[in-house]
Structure formats: C-alpha cells, structure tokens
Chain A
Amino acid sequence: DVKVTQSSRYLVKRTGEKVFLECVQDMDHENMFWYRQDPGLGLRLIYFSYDVKMKEKGDIPEGYSVSREKKERFSLILESASTNQTSMYLCASSLGNGIQPQHFGDGTRLSIL
C-alpha cells in the first residue's frame, strides 16, 4: 500500500514564525500536492509538483512556498505564519499525469497563535 507520511499531526506556532510542513511518500509517485482544509470550504490546492525541483501554484499559493529536492519529499513552507493560516494541511501523491487517484497523508493540524 502507498504510504504518505506527514511529519506532524499537530503543530502550534506563533505569528511571524517560519513553519515547515514535511511530507514523504514511499511509492515513487511523480506527483505531490499540498491542500488546506477548512470547514465549509472543502479542500483547496496550495501548490503541486509533477517532478523533482518542479512546482506549480494551485488556487491559494499566497503566503506559502514549497520545495521538492527529492522525488519522495515535498515540503510546504509558511514564510511568515499568520493566524489566518490556522488550518488542517493535507499532503497527497499520485502516479502519472494527475488523472490517477491521489493518496493522502493523515494531515497536520496547524494552529498559529
């Protein structure tokens, strides 16, 4: 089975801090994705990557950046955390051209105080 592992289940940070969320997948998937999930808004795509060192903006990239130095690892960076970035963050991976099903990690619930 595909395993997508997010480094933290719960994280509490302060406004203005630089925050790193890490995601690792073990199935050699080309595609990796970062979403945030908020009540009533569903999942919204922040950034995605189709290959090492490649990144594309999703629907809500403002305030975020990403890094994909190795195929199995996709990091989400909050450059200067703000309270409106308090959310559940979900990482996913998939094979091929994006049409394939996505496999999700269990999420990181991030609170910015």
Chain B
Amino acid sequence: SQQGEEDPQALSIQEGENATMNCSYKTSINNLQWYRQNSGRGLVHLILIRSNEREKHSGRLRVTLDTSKKSSSLLITASRAADTASYFCARIHTGANNLFFGTGTRLTVIP
C-alpha cells in the first residue's frame, strides 16, 4: 500500500490546549498536504508543504516535514471547539500526480 499511517487515530483535548497529529509515509514525496473534514462534509485544504521545506505556518497551524524520517506533523495551537474534525495528510509521491491519503486523525476539542 502506498498509504501512510496517521497517529493517533483519535485525540481528545480541552479547549485552549495544543493538538499534535503525526503522519508517516513510505516512499519519497513531492509534497505533503493536510486537509480537514467536518462530520458529513467534504475535505478542506489547510496547508501544503513541499519536500524541500521543513516548516510552514498558517494562522494557528504549524506543519513540519522531516523527509529523512518520512514523517510530518500538524500542530494546532490554542485549540477551539470549532477545530473538532478529522484531519488527513495526503502525499504526492515522486513521479506521481495523485494524492495518497492517510486514514486520518479524529480530533475532539472539549469546550
């Protein structure tokens, strides 16, 4: 399988805490993207990090990429109840044109 692993599968935190989700993959990548999915809705693109980048920020989101370890992490700072959703990493493998999605982390932020 070309899918990677996301860790943890589920995460429950209190509002105001930080949430960290991890994504590992098996083959070399062109870029890695993070998406969010609210219950019963489609996915929404959050952030894209290229293989030659190590860190990227967007508002309360921070993404890191370690190509030597074939892993990425998504940090959401100062979480809010509205951040409750599933978060997916998706990779463009080198030489491919398609996204390969992980199975997601289900984040619950308790008010």
A residues contacting B by CB (< 8 A) are 4, 33, 35, 40-45, 48, 50, 58, 90, 92, 97-99, 101-107
Contact = CB atoms under 8 A, between A and B. Distances in A.
B97 A97 contact: yes
Interface class of chain B by DSSP? strand
B44 A42 contact: no
Given A42-B88, A90-B42, A101 B104 contact: no
Contact of B103 (A42, A102, A105): A42
Nearest to B100: A45
A98 B41 contact: no
Interface in B56-111: 88, 90, 92, 96-104
A48 B103 CA distance: 20
Contact of A101 (B3, B40, B48): B48
